[in-house]
Amino acid sequence: MSNTKILKKIKDENIVFVDFRFTDYYGKCHHITAPATHVDADFLSEGKGFDGSSIPGWRGIEDSDMVLMPDASSARVDPFLDEKTLILMCDVFRPHDNKPYNRCPRSIAAAATTYLKKTGIGDSVMFGSEQEFFVFDSVQFKNDMHKTGFSIRSEEGAWSSSLDLDGFNSGHRPGVKGGYFPVPPVDSLVDMRNEMCLRLCDMGMEAEVHHHEVATAGQCEIGTRGGAAVARGDDNQFLKYVVLNVAHQFGKTATFMPKPLKGDNGSGMHVHQSISKNGKNIFQGGLYGGLSQEALWYVGGILKHARALNALTNASTNSYRRLMPGFEAPVKLAYSARNRSAALRIPHSSASSRRVETRFPDSSANPYLCFAGLLLAGLDGIKNKIDPGDPCDFNLYHDSRSTDQKVRKVKEVCGSLADALVELDKDRKFLTSTGVFDDDAIDAYLELKQQEVARFRESPQPIEFEMYYSC
């Protein structure tokens, strides 16, 4: 869609407001809204100025002027606001030279796709992400000097079986690790997920499937059609927006936090990837799992750089509570066509849609940075013909004598965000040598995330009182 068509859409569909959105380093959306009567051709082509110093990890106050440059192809009508509002996703530009800002996540994802074309390996990349989330009835949390903790209320939670819920308790709810694919009334959120899918459809996104996930207490997943790095990043942001707002309308609260519940599965974001050239999927082949040699090298690149990628794909301290054995978490850096305990899987698919699925990411990741990082790691694998080693078609958590020695040799993802930041710092060349990321962008990201690690480290945890108060 061109800017001309945007203006026509505003007129023909009686758009009242235009919402300009962009994504910060954390992966959070921000917005500024203008009356549609103020949006003309000059506005769309010249962008809207804003203060970049107010965005974490961006400019200092002495160099804070930045410009939001709307992307006409991202136009969606907001399905929630009372007044008809058109959403436009924006790239962030520098006003002094009218070039993309080097720390703009959306621009980084676009640059990664441009780099793919420069390599000659392919001319397009497809990303598809499976975003899991929880829906609770309410949540409370507190982090004071003298009091800390959280409390989750969920009528669907296994712990609610003995509660008096306004004089009634149905008794129908998924147990711990018992939430995969039950029908109602055990799955109590079907109508809500249906509504989410309808609102996604309103925004031009095709929901392919939705279902209850493994964990108790309202863990869900909605699958949507894949797309290019930037477009798929936009879709991830729109999906989060829809899920959070529909849950709010139903009087509930949704979260994409990777591990909100102790003792049950966490929420991941499995990312499917394939590269095409001249309309042909170059991952299609006759080697293991139906993959091509290029695809296996792509796998090798991700496995080689996985621990550095963790800083981008698992971008919260909470992410590493999910990445633990025993909860279907893909901790082991291995690949397989069948094994869901491996970090990379080759899903069963038709030959033309052959792809690689990276299973360790989660939705705390900035989607644009996540996709860009995965693509550049995979391309590094292809360029340098990185051998991924043998596939691991055995249970990576099985401790029998026949497999124990094999399992010990398999490397693992990072154990904490702090470790991941160290890995990214020392293994950044596969990102910076491409010109997609520069050292300034990575240094700023590391500094921002180290602040999170520092906050976490200085805060005593409730479990520590149980373990150490009487030491």
196-215: pLDDT as tens digits: 999 999 999 989 999 999 99
Contacts of 463 (CB under 8 A, 6+ apart): none
332-356: pLDDT as tens digits: 999 998 777 789 999 988 888 899 9
Say if strands 65-70 and 48-51 run parallel, antiparallel, or are unpaired: antiparallel
145-201: pLDDT as tens digits: 999 999 999 999 999 999 988 889 999 999 999 999 999 999 999 999 999 999 999
CA-to-CA distance for 284 and 225, rounded, in angstroms?
Answer: 19
Span 37-52, average pLDDT: 92
CA-to-CA distance for 379 and 84, rounded, in angstroms?
Answer: 42
Confirm if 140 and 146 have CB atoms less than 8 A apart: no
CA-to-CA distance for 164 and 167, rounded, in angstroms?
Answer: 5
* Cα-based torsion angle of the residue sequence 83, 86, 89, 94 in order, rounded to the nearest 10 degrees: -90
pLDDT: which is higher, 69 or 393:
69
pLDDT: which is higher, 329 or 232:
232
Question: Which pLDDT score, from 0 to 100, does residue 291 have?
Answer: 96
Question: Which pLDDT score, from 0 to 100, does residue 400 have?
Answer: 45
Span 267-287, average pLDDT: 96
Confirm if 199 and 334 have CB atoms less than 8 A apart: no
pTM value is 0.95
23-35: pLDDT as tens digits: 999 999 999 999 9
- Enter the tokens of residue 391: 């596939």
Question: Which pLDDT score, from 0 to 100, does residue 351 have?
Answer: 81
- Enter the tokens of residue 235: 């879709």
Nearest of 21, 135, 110, 106 to residue 70 by alpha carbon? 21
How long is the chain? 471
Give CA angle at 408 (405, 413), nearest 5°.
155
CA-to-CA distance for 185 and 151, rounded, in angstroms?
Answer: 25
For 111, other C-beta atoms within 10 Å of its C-beta total: 21
pLDDT confidence tier of residue 407, bands split at 50, 70 and 90: low
Indicate which residues carry an active-site annotation.
51, 130, 132, 213, 221, 270, 340, 357, 359
CA-to-CA distance for 364 and 266, rounded, in angstroms?
Answer: 12
pLDDT: which is higher, 60 or 11:
11
pLDDT confidence tier of residue 58, bands split at 50, 70 and 90: confident
For the cut 50, the answer to whether the pLDDT of residue 251 exceeds it is yes
Question: Which pLDDT score, from 0 to 100, does residue 329 have?
Answer: 81
Task: For residue 345, list its beta bridge partners.
Answer: 336, 357
CA-to-CA distance for 233 and 457, rounded, in angstroms?
Answer: 31
Question: Which pLDDT score, from 0 to 100, does residue 398 have?
Answer: 61
Question: Which pLDDT score, from 0 to 100, does residue 78 have?
Answer: 97
Contacts of 183 (CB under 8 A, 6+ apart): none
Confirm if 276 and 312 have CB atoms less than 8 A apart: no
Contacts of 326 (CB under 8 A, 6+ apart): 397
For the cut 60, the answer to whether the pLDDT of residue 401 exceeds it is no
Largest CA distance in the chain: 72
Structural domains in the chain plus CATH codes: 3-101 (3.10.20.70), 124-468 (3.30.590.10)
Collapse the DSSP code of 90 into the 3-class scheme (helix H, G, I; strand E, B; otherwise coil) and give the result. strand
